[in-house]
Amino acid sequence: MVEIGIIGQEKDEQVKLLKKRINEKGEKAVVINFRNFPKKKKLFLNEKKIVYDNVDLMNINAFYLRQLGYLFPIPPKEITKKEWNKKYNKYMDFVTNERENLSLKHSLIRMLDREKFVVNPYDSFNYHKLKPLQLYVFMKNNLPVPGFVAGNDLGKIKKGKMIYKALGGGIHAQLVNKKFVNENKETFKERPGLFQEYVKGKNIRVYAVGDEVIGAGELISGPQVDSRIEQKGVKVVELPENVKEITIKAKNLLGMHFSGVDFMRTKKNEYYILECNPSPMFYG
């Protein structure tokens, strides 16, 4: 019997579905949830073993990396001045503790990368938080990508022809117009952003495993620029062969074994690649 580890949370619908399918194949799925580490669960590792909650992960055949968390020790939310004064010491402890926790967890994943088959590998998983690097790789390999500018120089942005996206995710995309620039001048003195040429069309999600495209659908959404705001459903679509080839090439360039690749399809049936997701939603 093959044993497959799923790194994520038990309540995640993607995790539950994947576990069910693995079990239906007669194999064993083990969910590895780091959410309770280190308060409730124990972990130790050396050059021979990685033992988490009394399970030696080195004895598991392969892994699916559903959720890794953030890369660096950052506060979980914005806090008020009153909260800051009250919780300053607790916050400083959090930063110190989280730096140590992340060092161990990220070392663990990279060690598994070297010893086992991991979907997706650590380095490719991190492309989701490194969007400018992902776009750079696509462009250097002649894939059809909308032009982009990353940074905080609003003078380089073509108003009305670009959309703003968060570099690391977590913020909805917005059309860049005069109002946006005026309202965010101070914001971009504090942090950079990703600005990409606006391509009007339909959002297409393509799923690929290995060298095979296994499905594609048009995301039915509301009128907003960001299709995630008001999702209404998915319509299965057929892809041109060249788009299938672009899909496989894109995910392979990023070292992904499995990906949900997002495209924008124009009225002229032109496809522009937006990004490769290393842990795409597939439940439902």
State pLDDT tens for residues 209-253.
999 999 999 998 755 666 555 566 899 999 999 999 999 999 999
Q: Is residue 57 part of a domain?
A: yes
- Window from 26-30, 92-96, 213-217, 228-232 with minimum mean pLDDT: 228-232
Q: Is the pLDDT of residue 123 over 80?
A: yes
Three-point CA angle 264, 211, 140, nearest 5°: 55
Domain hosting residue 193, numbered range: 147-197
Give yes or no: residues 233 and 153 share one domain: no
Give pLDDT, residue 48. Answer: 94
Q: Which residue has the higher pLDDT, 125 or 22?
A: 22
Domain end marker among 182, 197, 212: 197
Q: Is residue 43 part of a domain?
A: yes
Q: Is residue 129 part of a domain?
A: no
Give yes or no: residues 270 and 245 share one domain: yes
The answer to whether the beta carbons of residues 276 and 134 sit under 8 Å apart is yes
Q: Is the pLDDT of residue 195 over 90?
A: yes
Q: Which residue has the higher pLDDT, 44 or 81?
A: 44
- Window from 32-46, 47-61, 108-122, 222-236 with minimum mean pLDDT: 222-236
Give yes or no: residues 38 and 99 share one domain: yes
What residues contact 250, with CB distance under 8 A and at least 6 apart?
138, 143, 259, 261, 273, 276
Give pLDDT, residue 73. Answer: 53
CATH at 30? 3.40.50
Confidence of residue 276 (pLDDT cuts 50, 70, 90): very high
Preceding peptide of 38 cis, ω within 30°: yes
- Window from 5-19, 28-42, 198-212, 223-237 with minimum mean pLDDT: 223-237
Give yes or no: residues 211 and 176 share one domain: no
Give yes or no: residues 192 and 262 share one domain: no
Confidence of residue 92 (pLDDT cuts 50, 70, 90): confident
Give yes or no: residues 177 and 250 share one domain: no
Give pLDDT, residue 69. Answer: 67
Q: Is the pLDDT of residue 84 over 60?
A: yes
Q: Is residue 21 part of a domain?
A: yes
List the structure tokens of 7: 């790194």
Confidence of residue 157 (pLDDT cuts 50, 70, 90): confident
Domain count, the chain: 3
Give pLDDT, residue 160. Answer: 66
Q: In this prediction, what percent of the chain has a pLDDT beyond 70? A: 90
DSSP conformation class of 254: T
Q: Is residue 139 part of a domain?
A: no
**Mean pLDDT, to the nearest integer, of 28-35?**
94
The answer to whether the beta carbons of residues 108 and 37 sit under 8 Å apart is no
